[in-house]
């Protein structure tokens, strides 16, 4: 299969006027790339490599232009994305998620903790806290009740509640003037339980692999790589970038790269590429239908009434226009 980024469709040689009058002239055609199910293979490979690695097509296009390599148009890329690439990513995620949830179910009840990042885009990372925090669960629930019932202000409640993260690590002074130290006596014997170490290793993402707090941070950093804040994506575009992040994270977390018997690193086979080129491209409908089941909320601006044009102009020109 051709792998270079040459992306022309079929090109017919041109002939000068004398040749056109020569009836014996032979028409020759050359193809710059093979086709897969009517898609020029190199074009689709370029789109897939760009999308599946979370790259920006506009940047890839600039890079190719600087290299003087012809590329596909924006329209072709976004067509590939909506028709084939997004359905492939979503389908693969659903397959991965099913397996991970089955594994989680075999381990019994899951005790979840959520970590929300309220920046743009907002996101939740859910983790299974059961293994490490099980001995602490009752105390943590009690502490939440105590934080609420003994505080005179919201700040004090939050400060007390947050202190539990230090307390379980045997740290009893806190960087918060609303609750600078724990109120309990020094803990000895039975009370001095299994203190947790920072960056607990046994926490794990819900539906994802093991990770500690440091790994959650790594996961968030990875999200920023796949979905940078300074770029606007469509709802499905953003969703697929989150899914790619989770799949990429799960693929690489806590797992050394496979090696051959002679110790050489084994080449990684990308399941997304396999799915796309061996199945989706031949019959995309079932994959597209699965993605169409995702509820796409209307844009926020659709909740506002659109002003009549003449009214908008009148308001803009009026010296008495209201800023309310």
The residue (of 80 and 167) whose beta carbon lies closer to Zn ion is 167
* Contact pattern for Zn ion over residues 38 through 77, marking x by CB under 5 A: ----------------------------------------
Near Zn ion by CB under 5 A: residue from 49, 100, 182, 218: 182
Least distance from C-beta 67 to Zn ion, angstroms?
A: 60
d(CA 228, CA 122): 12
CA dihedral 246, 248, 250, 256 (to 10 degrees): -160
The residue (of 193 and 229) whose beta carbon lies closer to Zn ion is 193
d(CA 55, CA 4): 18
Least distance from C-beta 216 to Zn ion, angstroms?
A: 23
DSSP 293: T
Q: Give the DSSP letter string of 231-248.
A: S---HHHHHHHHHHHHHH
φ, ψ of residue 115 in degrees (nearest 5)? -125, 110
Least distance from C-beta 192 to Zn ion, angstroms?
A: 11
Angstrom CA distances, 94 to 75, 83, 252, 295, stand at 27, 18, 18, 15
* Contact pattern for Zn ion over residues 152 through 181, marking x by CB under 5 A: ---------------x----x---------
The residue (of 168 and 275) whose beta carbon lies closer to Zn ion is 168
Number of residues lying near Zn ion (CB under 5 A): 3
Least distance from C-beta 247 to Zn ion, angstroms?
A: 39
The residue (of 18 and 191) whose beta carbon lies closer to Zn ion is 191
d(CA 29, CA 9): 11
The residue (of 8 and 172) whose beta carbon lies closer to Zn ion is 172
The residue (of 172 and 248) whose beta carbon lies closer to Zn ion is 172
Least distance from C-beta 244 to Zn ion, angstroms?
A: 41
Least distance from C-beta 199 to Zn ion, angstroms?
A: 19
CA nearest neighbour of 50 among 35, 37, 61, 36: 61
d(CA 179, CA 156): 7
Residues sharing a CB contact under 8 Å with residue 254, sequence separation 6 or more, in sequence order: 209, 210, 211
Least distance from C-beta 174 to Zn ion, angstroms?
A: 9
Which residue of the chain is nearest Zn ion when measured via CB?
Answer: 182
The residue (of 191 and 282) whose beta carbon lies closer to Zn ion is 191
Displacement of CA 188 from its chain's centroid (Å): 45
Q: Give the DSSP letter string of 33-68.
A: S-EETTEEHHHHHHHHHHHHTT--HHHHHHHHHHTT
Residue 206 near residue 114 (C-beta atoms within 8 A): no
The residue (of 184 and 317) whose beta carbon lies closer to Zn ion is 184
Least distance from C-beta 170 to Zn ion, angstroms?
A: 8
Least distance from C-beta 175 to Zn ion, angstroms?
A: 14
212: number of Cβ within 10 Å: 19
The residue (of 166 and 252) whose beta carbon lies closer to Zn ion is 166
Where along the sequence are the contacts to Zn ion (CB under 5 A)? 167, 172, 182
């Amino acid at each position: 299969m051709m792998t270079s980024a040459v992306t022309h469709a079929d090109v017919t040689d041109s002939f000068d006027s004398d040749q056109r009058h020569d009836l014996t002239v032979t028409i020759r055609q050359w193809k710059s790339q093979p086709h897969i199910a009517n898609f020029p293979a190199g074009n689709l490979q370029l789109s897939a490599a760009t999308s599946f690695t979370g790259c920006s097509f506009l940047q890839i296009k600039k890079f190719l232009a600087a290299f003087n390599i012809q590329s596909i148009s924006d329209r072709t890329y976004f067509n590939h994305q909506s028709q084939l690439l997004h359905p492939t990513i979503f389908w693969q995620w659903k397959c991965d998620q099913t397996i991970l949830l089955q594994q989680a179910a075999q381990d019994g009840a899951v005790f979840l903790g959520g970590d929300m990042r309220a920046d743009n885009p907002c996101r939740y990372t859910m983790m299974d806290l059961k293994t490490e925090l099980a001995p602490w669960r009752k105390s943590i629930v009690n502490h939440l009740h105590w934080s609420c019932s003994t505080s005179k202000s919201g700040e004090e409640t939050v400060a007390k509640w947050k202190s539990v993260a230090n307390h379980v690590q045997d740290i009893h002074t806190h960087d918060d003037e609303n609750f600078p130290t724990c109120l309990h006596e020094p803990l000895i014997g039975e009370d001095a339980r299994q203190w947790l170490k920072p960056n607990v290793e046994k926490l794990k993402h819900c539906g994802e692999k093991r990770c500690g707090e440091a790994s959650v941070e790594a996961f968030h950093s990875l999200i920023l790589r796949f979905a940078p804040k300074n770029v606007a994506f469509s709802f499905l575009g953003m969703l697929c970038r989150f899914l790619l992040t989770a799949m990429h994270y799960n693929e690489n977390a806590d797992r050394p790269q496979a090696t051959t018997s002679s110790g050489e690193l084994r080449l990684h086979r990308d399941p997304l590429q396999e799915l796309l080129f061996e199945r989706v491209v031949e019959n995309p409908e079932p994959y597209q239908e699965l993605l169409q089941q995702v509820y796409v909320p209307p844009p926020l601006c659709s909740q506002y009434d659109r002003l009549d044009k003449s009214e908008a102009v009148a308001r803009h020109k009026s010296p008495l226009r209201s800023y309310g």
